[in-house]
Amino acid sequence: MSVSRCQRPFAETSVRFQNLTSEIDFLSPFAVVDEALSLPDRCPHLYDVQLTVARWQGWRREDYDRLFEEAVVFAPRYRALYRNKAIYLLPRWGGREGEWKEFAEDSANRLGGPEGEDLYYFLFSAMSAYYEDDEVLALLKPVWPRLRRSFEASEDLYGVNPDLLNMFGKYAYFAGDKETVQTMINRIGSHWNQGIWGNLDPAQVQTWATSNNSTPFRPMGPWT
């Protein structure tokens, strides 16, 4: 069994960044960001930069959490801040397995309303990139009802583009939700993105969605 990208130990990840981080002066970015945050007009992305540098520096949890809380008090709807902490909670950075999922749910509930649901979908989509395809399938099943609801909230808030429809259609396919798959295929129309669906073709997906077979075909290959 291959080791998940999110399960590689913190020590291994640290070694992989050792040469890079030894050549970067991480104090300089903090000095620049601190100065920028002292200005009357502040940008929430500055906190995202700080959180990224703090993760690479291997900050202790209490220190990282303190910075994160300061950031979300300033910009509670800036989704990149939550994504940054979700990454920090992966085992490769010292978190425990599944901790980011608890964080995603708690953060969405804390924010509340359509914005909270949008945040949940945003975090799931972002974090799925750290898993292999079979692992994403395992993540989908338990949370599918909420993920579907979150996608709808996200669309109501910000709209969608063809790539987002393709990705959500793929989520629905692997979740075994035939009704949603059919809806997405109709909405995707001629904008089928083979790069997102991988080894699955539209005819194959359409055939499954209208069949009595309850188990989707699961091709081998990386999750995209």
Write a three-state SS string for 36-59: HHCCCCCCCHHHHHHHHHHHHHCC
What's the rounded Cα separation, in Å, for the pair 120 and 153?
10
Count of beta carbons in the 10 Å neighbourhood of residue 71: 23
| Residues 193-210 pLDDT 10s | 999 998 899 999 999 999
Tokens of 165: 């429809």
pTM of the model: 0.81
- 174 CB-near residues (< 8 Å, 6+ apart): 136, 137, 140, 216, 218
| Residues 33-84 pLDDT 10s | 566 566 567 788 989 999 998 998 899 999 999 999 999 999 999 999 999 9
Please name the residue that has the structure tokens 């989908």: 140
What's the rounded Cα separation, in Å, for the pair 218 and 65?
39
Identify the CATH number of the domain defined by range 25-126. 1.25.40
